[in-house]
């Protein structure tokens, strides 16, 4: 059970060169996943048989000189992308036994590109959480130190890639759910521009903020996978109908002259000193590569967290109303009447954090409070977006820390939701403004991975991937693996 | 003056309670748009399918699915807005109306709240005295229908049929400008006519394709301030709307006059008992927590699109009625009746085209004999039982004197029952009018010979007996004598 450190890019090349078969890759992954479950708990469902069948099909295609760009490459899906015939739990008791009768667009596109699904990855319940502790299927643990959280909500995805259980996974990011776990686990993650990746079949948390993306080892891999999953989907009215560029093109081009802005608000008092040093060292690498750095201030950024915790719960309170025990999902036993059916099915089916957000969201949308909370939060959102627009008139990219601290201990923040929410303080603003953003490994603080966040203007995924790739050509932080997993 | 096809307004229910109270009514009409698929999914909208066979994953509110707006529903809403001279919003917004109910799969209904697609139009109704009244349409917005909860034959259980879930509705909200139940019905009929003209709704009220909620209040005559209103939900016939409002007005007046107060509430009309009953009070009302639906972008319409829809509008009822008056020399009333539906108007025009110059005769027959048999047999004009050319064939025989109007009614009955043409019926029954002067003269002479006493009286100055002789000759000729010729010949012969 030796670790396969190959990236998606390397695997795809080896598969095409027939140096390795997809079946061999899958057969190597499955026992390592199995063995990791007791310590990491990264998977909710492992689809061994289906994966082998897909791998065999991919091998046939490759043997015939056909096959898509990801033919035979094993990947995993965050367990909120619907997969026909394979249960999709959203990390919730509510959907413990829910089997979707259809594939999410992302799932279908990656399958069409030849990717092989190994299983469904653990996550915070309904993607609500920053530590993966809210999953009904138990917390995921950080491969760097299993006493620590992997971050959330895409904790299973980040942990699995960090432990090299698979080379890449789909994930989603509503307030930092790709970038924060990527930072905590020392892997690379991209949240594309809102509307770039179809949300069809991606179980909703907060519709105006949710965006699908990728967690992988490298920026190049992110580009490779994103290229196959992005693009307009007529079934998602919020997906954007403009062509997907070849994210792999021009990744090696020089960075000279790129203007990088440092947000003053991201280097505030909450940022741990060691973390800040690693981020500044990373920025120095960019400077050496010819980028120009300058400091910027976006005055409305500090309002991101409160605005987010109005908008996201508001949308969630409505999105989760469909889980009523009538048509699918958990239904309580022997309901006395309709109200009892609703009350008990939902009380039993949802965990504490989900309930907290449903209640918050219901409150902020209520008559008499709507203007004071929801409308005001939407105004703040517009101000933040305008702040970013001004910034991107001056710089090409913004950079800073992904989180204020490295991974924290399980249970350290679960008793205090506000402390937990503040962990997303640097990531949330990109969601509010719909901007593409990445987290890239940039060193260690106290032995734990540190993430560099890169934010760009709308649809500048290529620019982000380019900068991240050039950084990864100069550094090897993204190649480090936890010793205990090796 | 009401005919089966008429839409006239008569007695005023509010005023019947005495002139002390004024009734104020506003209507919210739900017109189901005649799209083939649902407003946010590709599932079919056809009525009457077995339960839950026309509900796809989007209609079922499955995890992960998303709504996609049906462009045809938008086009239909714009047609309506343009037809009532309203503003078509260049940007309108879909909102979620949140509440729990088993036949509402997502736990919210997608509707339009703050920014509807249509705002500020007007419709004109004709009152009983022939005067016209303009009723303002505050707004019309697009929304999805819910499913149905079924109780019949399910002892102690509720069945859910989601076939209707996601069916497109246009909710048409009037200003509170109607002052009687009859006015409300006239307005509702006007909207009904219009949506059918525009081919945006089949208007089928039994199937619930066209239904309304009535907001009713009363206030002291002369008062400017509106009284507390009640809302009567989901009434699906013109007659029930009238009865429900009349009942509600009487109930409110009685309540206030006996020292009580009207409370704002939702009421249901029970057609069996002819009364409204409280359903829920304002305090029990849901807080719908409306907010813009983040799954749907604001609906943006370009001016060119709106103009293209305008260019496709058919001739509208009021314009058609005015043209009928001018072109065919019809009274306003007749023109109004004949344009009450597009099918009826088309039928009438087809008849007059086939027998030119007989537009008044055609109007009388279409509104009279034809309307009566249609009503009797419960048929629609469009059912095709008597094609316009057939009726025109009959009118042509009246016009050219082959048969009299009286005989024509007999011929018509046979045509209706058998499907034969007028000429076939006339020939087979030998009903052709007698226009041979000699034959008529011989009949007159026979009658004169048989009734010498009456003849003597007539000649002595009893002019009234002229009619007696007309009748006798008609009887002798089985009604086939040409009436005009008969008159002329009798006038010549009787005086001796």
Concerning whether A120 is annotated as a catalytic residue, the answer is no
Task: Collect all residues of chain A within an 8 Å Cβ-Cβ radius of residue B290.
Answer: 365, 370
What are the beta bridge partners of residue B142?
B170
Closest to B57 in 3D by CA, of A100, A22, A106: A100
Residues A164-198 have pLDDT tens digits of: 999 999 999 999 999 999 999 999 999 999 999 99
pLDDT tier for residue B9 given thresholds of 50, 70 and 90: very low
What are the beta bridge partners of residue B92?
B299
Q: Please judge whether B291 and A374 are an interchain contact, meaning their C-beta atoms are less than 8 angstroms apart.
A: yes
Q: Is B287 on the interface with A (CB under 8 A)?
A: yes
Is the domain of B302 the same as that of B333?
A: no
B105, B290, B296: residue with CB nearest A322: B105
Cα–Cα dist A422/A412, whole Å = 13
- Domains of chain B: total: 3
- Residues B341-347 have a mean pLDDT of 93
CB pairs under 8 A between A and B: 101
Q: Is the pLDDT of residue B10 over 50?
A: no
Assigned token pair, B25: 């009514």
Helices and strands in chain A, H and E counts: 15, 11
| Number of CB atoms found within 10 A of residue A15's CB | 25
Is the domain of B120 the same as that of B256?
A: yes
* Residue B200 located in a structural domain: yes
Q: Find where tokens 């101000």 sit.
A: A383
Q: Can you list the pairs that B306-312 forms with residues at least 24 positions away whose Cβ atoms lie under 8 Å?
A: B306/B78, B306/B82, B306/B88, B309/B75, B309/B78, B309/B79, B309/B82, B310/B82, B312/B79
Distance from CA of A249 to the nearest CA of B (A): 32
CA dihedral (B453, B459, B461, B467) positive or negative:
positive
SS3 category, B413: helix
Cα–Cα dist A99/B245, whole Å = 50
In this prediction, residue B381 carries a pLDDT of 87
Q: Which position has the higher pLDDT, B429 or B39?
A: B39
* Residue B6 located in a structural domain: no
Closest to A430 in 3D by CA, of A170, A175, A172: A175
* Residue B215 located in a structural domain: yes
Residues A320-336 have pLDDT tens digits of: 999 999 999 999 999 99
pLDDT tier for residue A293 given thresholds of 50, 70 and 90: very high
Cα–Cα dist A196/A229, whole Å = 9
Reported in sequence order, the residue ranges of A238-310 that DSSP labels E, i.e. its strands, are 259-263, 292-296
Cα–Cα dist A358/A329, whole Å = 17
Cα–Cα dist B472/B460, whole Å = 19
Is the domain of B222 the same as that of B338?
A: no
Q: Is the pLDDT of residue A87 over 70?
A: yes
Please give the residue of chain B at the shortest CA–CA distance from A240. Answer: B297
Chain A interface, Cβ < 8 Å to B: 80-82, 88, 90, 95, 98, 100-102, 104, 199-204, 206-208, 234-238, 314-315, 317-318, 320-322, 324, 326-329, 338, 342, 362, 365-367, 370, 374
Q: Considering only residues 24 to 83 of chain B, which have any Cβ-Cβ distance to chain A shorter than 8 Å? A: 57, 60-69
Residues B447-495 have pLDDT tens digits of: 999 999 999 999 999 989 999 999 999 898 888 888 888 999 999 988 8
A82, A318, A374: residue with CB nearest B64: A82
What are the beta bridge partners of residue A172?
A212
Is the domain of B394 the same as that of B473?
A: no
Is the domain of B90 the same as that of B233?
A: yes
Distance from CA of B240 to the nearest CA of A (A): 31
Residues B75-112 have pLDDT tens digits of: 999 999 999 999 999 999 999 999 999 999 999 999 99
Give start and end residues of each alpha helix (H) in B258-341: 303-311, 317-328, 332-338
Q: Is the pLDDT of residue B11 over 70?
A: no
Is the domain of B418 the same as that of B451?
A: no
In this prediction, residue B4 carries a pLDDT of 39
Concerning whether A318 is annotated as a catalytic residue, the answer is no
In this prediction, residue B484 carries a pLDDT of 85
CA dihedral (B265, B270, B271, B273) positive or negative:
negative
Q: Residue B252 belongs to what domain range?
A: 13-310
Give the CA count within 13 Å in the CB-facing half-sphere of B335.
19
A177, A198, A239, A429: the catalytic one is: A177
Q: Please judge whether A327 and B105 are an interchain contact, meaning their C-beta atoms are less than 8 angstroms apart.
A: yes
Closest to A70 in 3D by CA, of A216, A183, A235: A216
What are the beta bridge partners of residue A121?
A43, A78
Domain boundary among the residues B429, B450, B481 is at B429
Domain boundary among the residues B310, B338, B370 is at B310
For chain B, percent of residues with pLDDT exceeding 90:
77
Q: Is B157 on the interface with A (CB under 8 A)?
A: no
Residues B197-256 have pLDDT tens digits of: 999 999 999 999 999 999 999 999 999 999 999 999 999 999 999 999 999 999 999 999
Q: Is the pLDDT of residue A303 over 90?
A: yes
- Residues A124-150 have a mean pLDDT of 97
Helix axis angle for A304-319 and A376-394, nearest 10°, is: 130
- Residues B293-312 have a mean pLDDT of 98
The model's pTM: 0.90
Domain boundary among the residues B383, B401, B429 is at B429
* Residue B185 located in a structural domain: yes
pLDDT tier for residue A1 given thresholds of 50, 70 and 90: low
Give the CA count within 13 Å in the CB-facing half-sphere of A252.
0
Q: Please judge whether B294 and A199 are an interchain contact, meaning their C-beta atoms are less than 8 angstroms apart.
A: no
Assigned token pair, B428: 């087979």
Q: Please judge whether B98 and A367 are an interchain contact, meaning their C-beta atoms are less than 8 angstroms apart.
A: no
Cα–Cα dist B456/A100, whole Å = 101
Q: Phi, psi at residue A109, to the nearest 5°?
A: -70, -40
In this prediction, residue A231 carries a pLDDT of 97
Is the domain of B278 the same as that of B366?
A: no
Q: Please judge whether B287 and A321 are an interchain contact, meaning their C-beta atoms are less than 8 angstroms apart.
A: no
Tell me the pLDDT of chain B averaged across its residues. 91
H or E segment and range at residue A182: helix A179-185
Q: Residue B133: is it exposed, middle or buried by C-beta count within 10 angstroms (0-12/13-18/19+)?
A: middle
Cα–Cα dist B36/B162, whole Å = 16
Is the domain of B364 the same as that of B467?
A: no
Concerning whether A38 is annotated as a catalytic residue, the answer is no
Q: Please judge whether A238 and B294 are an interchain contact, meaning their C-beta atoms are less than 8 angstroms apart.
A: yes
Cα–Cα dist A346/A415, whole Å = 22
Task: Collect all residues of chain A within an 8 Å Cβ-Cβ radius of residue B67.
Answer: 237
Q: Is the pLDDT of residue B8 over 80?
A: no
Mean pLDDT is lowest, of A135-139, A416-420, A448-452, for A416-420
Cα–Cα dist B167/B103, whole Å = 13
Candidates A170, A326, A359: best to mutate against B (most CBs of B within 10 A) is A326
Cα–Cα dist B66/A282, whole Å = 41
Distance from CA of A104 to the nearest CA of B (A): 8
Is the domain of B179 the same as that of B74?
A: yes
pLDDT tier for residue B18 given thresholds of 50, 70 and 90: low
Is the domain of B163 the same as that of B62?
A: yes
Residues B113-146 have pLDDT tens digits of: 999 999 999 999 988 888 899 999 999 999 999 9
In this prediction, residue B260 carries a pLDDT of 95
Tell me the pLDDT of chain A averaged across its residues. 96
Q: Please judge whether B296 and A237 are an interchain contact, meaning their C-beta atoms are less than 8 angstroms apart.
A: yes
Assigned token pair, B271: 């057609």
Is the domain of B159 the same as that of B273?
A: yes
Task: Collect all residues of chain A within an 8 Å Cβ-Cβ radius of residue B102.
Answer: 324, 326, 338
CATH of domain A8-257+397-485: 3.90.1300.10
Cα–Cα dist B407/B392, whole Å = 15
Q: Is the pLDDT of residue A440 over 70?
A: yes
Is the domain of B416 the same as that of B486?
A: no
Give start and end residues of each alpha helix (H) in A366-425: 376-394, 417-422
Q: Please judge whether B102 and A338 are an interchain contact, meaning their C-beta atoms are less than 8 angstroms apart.
A: yes
In this prediction, residue B373 carries a pLDDT of 94
For chain A, percent of residues with pLDDT exceeding 90:
95
Q: Please judge whether B68 and A201 are an interchain contact, meaning their C-beta atoms are less than 8 angstroms apart.
A: no
Q: Which position has the higher pLDDT, B431 or A131?
A: A131
Q: Find where tokens 């995993």 sit.
A: A76
Please tell me what DSSP assigns to residue A303.
G
Q: Is the pLDDT of residue B12 over 50?
A: no
Task: Locate CATH 3.90.1300.10 in chain A.
Answer: 8-257+397-485
Contacts for A471 with CB less than 8 Å, ≥ 6 apart: A219, A282, A285, A286, A289, A440, A442, A452
Candidates A327, A328, A373: best to mutate against B (most CBs of B within 10 A) is A327
């Amino acid at each position: 059970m030796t670790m396969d450190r190959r990236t998606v890019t390397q695997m795809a090349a080896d598969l095409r060169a027939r140096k390795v078969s997809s079946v061999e890759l899958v057969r190597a992954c499955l026992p390592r996943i199995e063995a990791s479950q007791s310590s990491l708990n990264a998977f909710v469902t492992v689809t061994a048989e289906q994966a082998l069948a897909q791998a065999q099909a991919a091998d046939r295609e490759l043997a015939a000189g056909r096959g898509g760009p990801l033919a035979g490459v094993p990947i995993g899906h965050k367990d909120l992308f619907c997969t026909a015939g394979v249960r999709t739990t959203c990390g919730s008791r509510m959907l413990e036994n829910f089997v979707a009768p259809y594939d999410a667009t992302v799932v279908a596109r990656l399958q069409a590109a030849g990717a092989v699904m190994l299983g469904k990855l653990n996550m915070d319940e309904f993607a609500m959480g920053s530590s993966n502790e809210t999953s009904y299927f138990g917390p995921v643990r950080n491969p760097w130190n299993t006493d620590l959280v992997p971050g959330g909500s895409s904790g299973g995805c980040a942990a699995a890639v960090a432990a090299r259980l698979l080379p890449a996974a789909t994930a989603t990011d509503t307030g930092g759910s790709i970038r924060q776990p990527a930072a905590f686990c020392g892997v690379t993650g991209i949240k594309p521009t809102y509307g770039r990746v179809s949300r069809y079949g991606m179980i909703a948390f907060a519709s105006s903020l949710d965006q699908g993306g990728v967690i992988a080892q490298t920026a190049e891999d992110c580009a490779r996978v994103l290229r196959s999953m992005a693009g307009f989907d007529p079934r998602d009215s919020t997906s954007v109908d403009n062509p997907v560029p070849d994210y792999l093109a021009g990744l090696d081009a020089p960075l000279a002259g790129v203007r990088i802005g440092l947000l003053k608000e991201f280097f505030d008092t909450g940022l741990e000193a060691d973390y800040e040093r690693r981020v500044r060292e990373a920025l120095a690498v960019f400077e050496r590569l010819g980028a120009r750095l300058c400091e910027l201030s976006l005055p409305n950024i500090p309002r991101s967290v409160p605005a987010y915790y109005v908008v996201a719960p508001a949308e969630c309170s409505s999105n989760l109303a469909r889980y009523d025990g009538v048509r699918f999902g958990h239904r309580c036993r022997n309901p006395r009447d309709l109200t009892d059916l609703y009350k008990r099915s939902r009380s039993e089916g949802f965990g504490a954090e989900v309930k907290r957000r449903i209640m918050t969201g219901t409150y902020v949308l209520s008559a008499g409070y709507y203007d004071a909370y929801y409308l005001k939060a939407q105004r703040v959102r517009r101000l933040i977006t305008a702040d970013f627009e001004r910034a991107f008139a001056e710089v090409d990219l913004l950079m800073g820390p992904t989180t204020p601290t490295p991974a924290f201990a399980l249970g350290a923040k679960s008793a205090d939701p506000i402390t937990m929410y503040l962990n997303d303080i640097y990531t949330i603003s990109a969601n509010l403004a719909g901007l593409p953003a990445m987290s890239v490994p940039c060193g260690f603080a106290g032995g734990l991975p540190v993430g560099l966040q890169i934010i760009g203007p709308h649809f500048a995924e290529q620019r982000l991937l380019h900068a991240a790739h050039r950084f990864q050509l100069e550094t090897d932080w993204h190649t480090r693996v936890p010793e205990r997993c090796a | 003056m009401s005919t089966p096809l008429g839409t006239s307004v008569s007695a005023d229910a509010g005023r019947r309670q005495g002139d002390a109270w004024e009734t104020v009514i506003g209507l919210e009409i739900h017109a189901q748009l005649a799209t083939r698929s649902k407003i946010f999914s590709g599932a079919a909208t056809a009525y009457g399918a077995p339960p839950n066979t026309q509900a796809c994953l989007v209609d079922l509110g499955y995890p992960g699915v998303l709504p996609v707006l049906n462009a045809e529903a938008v086009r239909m809403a714009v047609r309506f807005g343009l037809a009532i001279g309203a503003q078509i919003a260049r940007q309108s917004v879909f909102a979620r109306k949140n509440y729990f109910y088993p036949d509402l799969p997502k736990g919210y209904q997608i509707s339009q709240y703050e920014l509807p697609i249509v705002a500020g139009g007007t419709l004109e109704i004709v009152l009983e005295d022939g005067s016209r009244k303009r009723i303002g349409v505050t707004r019309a917005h697009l929304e999805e229908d819910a499913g149905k909860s079924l109780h019949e034959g399910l002892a102690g259980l509720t069945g859910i049929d989601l076939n209707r879930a996601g069916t497109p509705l246009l909710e048409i909200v009037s200003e509170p400008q109607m002052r009687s139940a009859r006015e409300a019905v006239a307005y509702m009929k006007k909207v009904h006519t219009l949506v059918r003209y525009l081919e945006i709704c089949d208007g089928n009220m039994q199937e619930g394709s066209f239904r309304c909620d009535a907001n009713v209040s009363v206030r002291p005559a002369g008062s400017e301030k509106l009284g507390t209103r009640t809302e009567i939900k989901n009434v699906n016939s013109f007659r029930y709307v009238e009865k429900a409002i009349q009942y509600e007005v009487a109930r409110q007046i009685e309540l206030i006059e006996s020292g009580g107060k009207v409370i704002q509430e939702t009421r249901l009309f029970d057609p069996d008992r002819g009364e409204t009953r409280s359903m829920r009070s304002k305090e029990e009302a849901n807080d719908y927590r409306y907010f813009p639906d983040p799954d749907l972008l604001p609906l943006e319409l370009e001016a060119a699109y709106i103009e293209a829809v305008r260019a496709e509008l058919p001739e509208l009822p009021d314009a058609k009625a005015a043209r009928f008056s001018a072109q065919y020399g019809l009274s306003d009333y007749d023109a109004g009746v004949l344009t009450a539906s597009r099918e009826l108007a088309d039928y009438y025009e087809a008849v007059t085209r086939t027998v030119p110059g007989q537009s008044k005769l055609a109007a009388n027959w279409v509104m009279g004999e034809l309307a009566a048999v249609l009503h009797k047999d419960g048929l629609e004009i469009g059912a095709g039982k008597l094609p316009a050319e057939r009726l025109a064939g009959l009118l042509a025989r009246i016009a050219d004197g082959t048969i009299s109007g009286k005989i024509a009614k007999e011929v018509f009955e046979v045509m209706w029952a058998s499907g034969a043409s007028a000429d076939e019926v006339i020939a087979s029954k030998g009903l052709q009018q007698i226009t041979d002067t000699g034959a008529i003269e011989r009949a007159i002479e026979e009658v004169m010979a048989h009734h010498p006493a009456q003849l003597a009286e007539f000649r002595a100055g009893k002019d009234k007996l002229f009619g007696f002789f007309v009748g006798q000759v008609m009887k002798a000729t089985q009604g086939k004598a040409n009436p005009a010729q008969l008159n002329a010949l009798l006038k010549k012969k009787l005086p001796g």
